[in-house]
């Protein structure tokens, strides 16, 4: 009896852990605004990973539209153990993604998708729904 109770408790605890560590869905996207499910913050640009999200502040790494996304912009998400990383280049794809950044991800064994932001969010959410350990960085304007 006690053994089955402990197993039930352990299964419940594991389900909570897996739920907490799943990648959050992007709930909405419009020009200059993104919402992540389970988070009250409205983001302009954001980073998401299993179990969390935050503002993507380009000033932290000196990022600009060109040369674009640098490995330093992705390090935090990579360290969360993602298997796939989706990069949203903006509504008009003004944000560049150099080959060196894609190579950085591939060398870390991470699949990468580089897309226009609306397409990137759709693909990211589809991967979340499939249970993939996915992360992303998304630019919601130009």
Q: What residue numbers bound the domain in which 90 lies?
A: 3-138
Q: List the CATH number of the domain containing 127.
A: 3.40.1230.10
pLDDT of residue 39: 94
Beta strands in 15-61 (DSSP E): 26-30, 33-36, 42-43, 45-49, 52-55
pLDDT of residue 21: 80
Instruction: For 105-135, write each residue's pLDDT tens digit.
Output: 999 999 999 999 999 999 999 999 999 999 9
**Total domain count for the chain?**
1
Q: Do 117 and 138 contact (CB within 8 A), yes or no?
A: yes
Confidence at residue 76, expressed as pLDDT on a 0 to 100 scale:
97
């Amino acid at each position: 009896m006690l053994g089955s109770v402990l197993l039930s408790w352990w299964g419940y605890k594991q389900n909570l852990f897996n739920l907490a560590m799943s990648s959050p869905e992007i709930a909405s996207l419009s020009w200059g605004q993104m919402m992540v499910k389970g988070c009250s913050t409205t983001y302009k640009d954001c980073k998401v990973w299993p179990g969390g999200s935050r503002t993507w502040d380009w000033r932290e790494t000196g990022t600009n539209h060109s040369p674009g996304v640098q490995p330093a912009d992705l390090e935090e998400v990579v360290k969360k153990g993602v298997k796939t990383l989706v990069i949203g280049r903006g509504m008009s794809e003004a944000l560049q993604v150099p080959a060196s950044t894609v190579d950085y991800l591939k060398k870390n064994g991470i699949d990468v998708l580089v897309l226009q932001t609306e397409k990137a969010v759709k693909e990211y959410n589809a991967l979340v729904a499939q249970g993939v350990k996915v992360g992303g960085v998304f630019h919601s304007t130009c």
